[in-house]
Amino acid sequence: MNKPTKIGVLTSGGDSPGMNAAIRAVVRTGLHYGLEVFGIHRGYAGMVEDDIEPMNSRSVANIIQRGGTILKTARCKEFMTPEGRKIAYDNLRKHGIDGLVIIGGDGSFRGAQIFSNEYDIPCIGIPGTIDKDMAGTDFTIGFDTAVNTAVRAIDKIRDTADAHDRLFIVEVMGRDAGYIALHSGIATGAEHILIPETKTNVEEIIAGLTEKEKRRKLVNLIVVAEGDDTGGGDEVGKMVKERLPNADVRVCILGHIQRGGSPTCLDRLIASRMGYHAVECLMEGKHNVMVGIVNNRMHYLPLDNAVKAKERFNKEWLRIVKILAS
């Protein structure tokens, strides 16, 4: 396969801290190899609407520390249709773009795979999602920042729980994956962590809270992923209040504060590394792969596998939670 001469970079799906660092790495690595680099605004919507502009080194100056994405992101129903993808292809061809780097999650990669198969444009995926739900990589851009944001918030909530002898139920993001809940819950000493990967045993939670009440352990913390089968933090709060009417229960939903903010050092590092290697992949003629990091080594997974597979959940973590919260 011929090496590309002009490449496009876009961010798609939910934003995650560190996307700007990845954009910066793609642009500057591409320029290093003498490529022309184009920024595609608002994800696939920008491809369809020809919201595409050339980028240079100054375009990505002073962005590595910023959350969000300077290229912005959007949903695009039109790109899901063959007619929309044809318009997108014609716009890329107009600019001479013959290689793409897509920063996003599995939905973004699914679109890239379909598009590349239809029009034979090499696409390289960089996993940018706070949920850490992608197989083939130990890290996804934004997860470390999101978890640290949640931990800082929960630590502050625990201070109030301690001052008032309250049970706090904290809902964190994670519609389909519970990694933010799991990691932040363990790091903050939560008594129970509820995640989509496992069925929640309400009776076990009530029994645990009752037993701790007998021991006069009045400060309790439950961390709930929004996608847990109970229905999230509010529903868990209702169930606990019904069963333990004397308990002083408060529900706190952290919401989108987990998406924003300046990326951590780790997120900046992995984003820079992945962005660099994404361009290397294009220069080496790789086609339709996701750039990941496994055991601190670069790992390349076909986009098709990245879309179909999910990160395997290690249930040993839940055993650790039970033991440490006892």
Give the CATH fold of the 6-142+263-308 domain: Rossmann fold (3.40.50)
The residues, ordered by sequence, that sit 6+ positions from 18 with a Cβ below 8 Å of its Cβ are: 128, 141, 142, 145, 263, 267, 268, 270, 271
Give the CATH fold of the 145-258 domain: Rossmann fold (3.40.50)
| Rg of the chain over all Cα atoms, to the nearest angstrom | 22
Identify the bridge partners of residue 297 per DSSP, sorted by sequence position: 294
CB 55 within 8 A of CB 305: no
Q: Is 12 annotated as a binding residue?
A: no
- pLDDT at residue 231, as a whole number: 87
Q: Is 268 annotated as a binding residue?
A: no
Q: Where in the chain is the domain with CATH 3.40.50.460?
A: 145-258
Q: Is 75 annotated as a binding residue?
A: yes
Identify the bridge partners of residue 126 per DSSP, sorted by sequence position: 103
The runs of H, that is alpha helices, within the chain are 19-32, 44-48, 82-95, 106-119, 143-164, 179-187, 202-214, 233-243, 265-283, 303-308, 316-324
The residues annotated with a catalytic role in the active site are 131
Residue 171's φ and ψ, nearest 5 degrees, are: -95, 130
- pLDDT at residue 73, as a whole number: 93
Rounded CA-CA distance 70/296 in Å is: 28
The per-residue pLDDT string of the chain (326 residues; one tens digit each, 9 = 90 and over) reads 578 899 999 999 899 999 999 999 999 999 999 999 999 999 999 999 999 999 999 999 999 999 999 999 988 899 999 999 999 999 999 999 999 999 999 889 999 999 999 998 999 999 999 999 888 899 999 999 999 999 999 999 998 888 888 889 999 999 888 999 999 999 999 988 999 888 888 888 888 888 776 666 656 889 999 999 888 889 988 988 888 888 888 899 999 999 999 999 999 999 999 999 999 999 999 889 999 999 999 999 988 887 766 666 777 887 887 788 76
Q: Where in the chain is the domain with CATH 3.40.50.450?
A: 6-142+263-308
Q: Is 161 annotated as a binding residue?
A: no
Rounded CA-CA distance 58/48 in Å is: 26
Q: Is 173 annotated as a binding residue?
A: yes
3-state SS, 304-316, equals HHHHHCCCCCCCH
